[in-house]
Amino acid sequence: MAENEKLEQAAQAGSDKVKKDKKADKKAKPSLFARVGRWLKDMKSELKKVQWPTRKQTINNTLIVIACVIVVGVFIWIFDYIAGSAIDVLLTLLR
C-alpha cells in the first residue's frame, strides 16, 4: 500500500506542477502593445535585408507586364470574336 500512496502523491505533484506551468505561461505573455512593437521592429530589420530593384529594373519589368497584358487581351478578344461568330452562324443555321 505504501507504494500505491507514493505513486498517487507523485502523480498529484506532477499535476500540480502542470497547473503552475500553465499559469506561469499565461502571465509570461507580453501585452498587445509589446507584441505589436516587437513585430514592427522585426519588420523593419527584415526590410533592411531586402535587395530593392533599381529604377531602371522597375520600369523594365513594368513595361514587360503591360506588354504581356496587351498580348493576352488581344488573344482573348480574337477568341471572343471567333466564338461569337461561330455561335451566330449556328443560331442562323438552326432557324
How much is the pTM?
Answer: 0.51
Buried b (16+ CB within 10 A) or exposed e, 62-93: eeeeeeeeeeeeeeeeeeeeeeeeeeeeeeee
User: For 22-66, how does the pLDDT look when each residue is reduced to its tens digit (9 = 90+)?
Assistant: 555 566 788 989 999 999 999 999 999 999 999 999 999 999 999
Instruction: Determine how many CB atoms are found less than 10 A away from the CB of residue 22.
Output: 10
